[in-house]
Amino acid sequence: MAATCVTGKHDQHDVYAAQCPCRAMLDLLANKWSALAIGAMERGPQRFGELRRVLQGVSPKVLTQTLRRLEEVGLVERTVIPAVPLHVEYELTELGRGAARPLRSLREWVEDNIDALEG
């Protein structure tokens, strides 16, 4: 059963409804770079350069945009480490760890079934 919408824009959360705020979150989580970045951060806090190495093919601009968006919605926490030289770490919040579980299952399913899917 759907929950009552706290936005007041509709009575219940329904991801199929055009105005449901769930759609924006689903869009973010379904983005390949978001899903892969969340997976990479399951290993623990990561620096930007580490994430770029793990996420082969992502541009610095796209990774920056992805991390900022994940931080804005509360899935990732950005911490500035006051060391010399200064560096920044990104890690999953409690909500981010919750989102990571189903995304991990999806990644594993894709890896297990890619040969059959490509026909």
Residues 31-84: tens digit of each pLDDT = 999 999 999 999 999 999 999 999 999 999 999 999 999 999 999 999 999 988
CA 59 to chain centre: 16
Confidence of residue 21 (pLDDT cuts 50, 70, 90): confident
The answer to whether 88 and 79 are in contact (CB under 8 A) is yes
Instruction: List the beta bridge partners of residue 78.
Output: 90
Rounded-to-integer distance, Cα 75 and Cα 100, Å: 9
Does 119 have pLDDT greater than 90?
no
Confidence of residue 11 (pLDDT cuts 50, 70, 90): low
Reported CATH class of domain 22-113:
mainly alpha
Alpha-helical (H) ranges within the chain are 22-30, 32-41, 48-54, 60-72, 94-117
Predicted pLDDT of residue 6: 52
Does 10 have pLDDT greater than 80?
no
